[in-house]
């Protein structure tokens, strides 16, 4: 384990985690602005990876697509949200028609993939708004969003530490040769244990079984989501999506685990748990 790198990661987390929790605590519009900022920076880094492959995504249209999707979510305009998807597709295709860049099909595909991929983080906004008292600071839904972020960090840290000290069996050598089964299992286990304790001690409105399922979702999909981003980086021959966060790489590197977790947790809470 690189001790210096680990200490830098911890220092950045000590500053960043309280800030994120503070914004989650007060909710929208502050949380909406935070998620949108994370998405815009993540999309920028995703398109940088695409450029390394020789593609020319339409950055401005991608960012406008994210703003449109988040605006529909914030104002609860579900019908407009459904209509915005084909609208974004049509705009990108028309823009590609006149742009004149080579690889038009790939450029349009990468632009759309970036919007679709990064927009999954918008489900965090929906989770924050689930409860009847969502607008109140530290509502149950706010605590659940905090739990999701905490679980991601705990899973990542446990996997990193256990993998560094005890890891012997490579998880996915083709994509991420440093990840091990030992670290993956540790991350999964710690996610479930912490989520159950958080439910028992902090969010009593959330049944322990639901907390365990959320912990399992984070423990599985968080690590798969991280592998997906590693696949993109390896394809572009890049170690990090950028160098914006010391010790963590880029914004996309830091929030990649949330991308697949957010829609899964929202779907579980919405369909299988009462509106907390």
pLDDT tens, position by position, 30-81: 999 999 999 999 999 999 999 999 999 999 999 999 999 999 988 877 778 8
* Range list of H helices, 54-180: 59-74, 78-99, 104-119, 123-128, 140-166
**pTM across the whole model:** 0.90
pLDDT attached to residue 26: 86
Residues belonging to the chain: 276
Distance CA 212, CA 51 (A): 40
Closest CA to 44 of 124, 94, 115, 104: 115
Q: Alpha-carbon distance 16 to 143, whole Å?
A: 17
Given pLDDT bands bounded at 50, 70 and 90, which one contains residue 83? confident
Is residue 93 scored above 80 in pLDDT? Answer: yes
Partners of 170 in the β-ladder: 180
pLDDT of residue 171: 82
* Residue ranges of domains in the chain: 3-272
**How large is the average pLDDT for residues 161-176?**
84
Per-residue confidence (pLDDT) for residue 176, from 0 to 100: 80
Check pLDDT > 90 for residue 265.
yes
Q: Residues 5, 247: contact at Cβ < 8 Å? A: yes
Residue 144 has pLDDT above 90, yes or no: yes
The pLDDT of residue 16 is above 90: no
Residue with tokens 């503070």: 22
73 against 148, higher pLDDT: 148
In this structure, of 85-94, 172-181, 195-204, 205-214, the range with the lowest mean pLDDT score is 172-181
Q: What share of the chain is helix, strand, coil (3-state, %, to 5)?
A: 75, 5, 20
- The pLDDT score that the predictor gives to residue 12 is 67
pLDDT band of residue 138 (cuts 50, 70, 90) is low
Q: Which of 6, 255, 274 is nearest to 123 (CA)?
A: 255
Query: Average pLDDT over the chain, rounded to whole?
Result: 88
Among 29-43, 78-92, 121-135, 188-202, the minimum mean pLDDT is found in: 121-135
- 85 CB-side CA count, 13 A: 9
Looking at residue 1, its pLDDT comes to: 52
pLDDT at 178: 83
Structure-block tokens of residue 226 = 């991280």
Q: What is the pLDDT of residue 10?
A: 67
Return the minimum-mean-pLDDT range out of 28-32, 135-139, 191-195, 266-270: 135-139
pLDDT number for residue 219: 96
pLDDT at 11 over 90: no
- Can you point out the beta strands (E) in the chain? 170-172, 176-180
Our CA angle for 260, 126, 188, nearest 5°, is: 35
């Amino acid at each position: 384990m690189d001790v210096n790198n680990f200490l830098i990661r911890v220092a950045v987390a000590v500053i960043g985690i309280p800030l994120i929790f503070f914004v989650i605590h007060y909710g929208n519009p502050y949380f909406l602005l935070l998620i949108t900022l994370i998405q815009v920076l993540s999309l920028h880094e995703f398109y940088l990876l695409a450029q390394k492959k020789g593609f020319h995504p339409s950055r401005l249209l991608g960012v406008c697509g994210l703003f449109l999707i988040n605006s529909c979510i914030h104002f609860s305009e579900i019908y407009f949200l459904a209509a915005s998807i084909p609208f974004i597709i049509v705009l990108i295709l028309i823009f590609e028609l006149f742009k004149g860049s080579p690889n038009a099909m790939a450029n349009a595909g990468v632009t759309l993939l970036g919007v679709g991929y990064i927009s999954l983080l918008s489900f965090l906004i929906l989770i924050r708004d689930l409860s009847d008292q969502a607008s109140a600071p530290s509502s149950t839904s706010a605590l659940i969003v905090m739990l999701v972020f905490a679980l991601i960090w705990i899973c990542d840290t446990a996997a990193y530490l256990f993998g560094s000290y005890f890891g012997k069996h490579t998880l996915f050598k083709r994509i991420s040769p440093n990840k091990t089964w030992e670290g993956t299992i540790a991350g999964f286990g710690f996610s479930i244990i912490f989520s159950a304790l958080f439910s028992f001690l902090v969010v009593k409105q959330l049944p322990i079984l639901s907390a365990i399922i959320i912990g399992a979702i984070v423990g599985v999909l968080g690590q798969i989501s991280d592998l997906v981003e590693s696949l993109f980086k390896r394809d572009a021959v890049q170690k990090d999506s950028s160098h914006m966060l010391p010790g963590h790489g880029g914004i996309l590197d830091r929030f990649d685990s949330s991308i697949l977790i957010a829609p899964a947790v929202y779907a579980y809470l919405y369909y299988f748990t009462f509106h907390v």
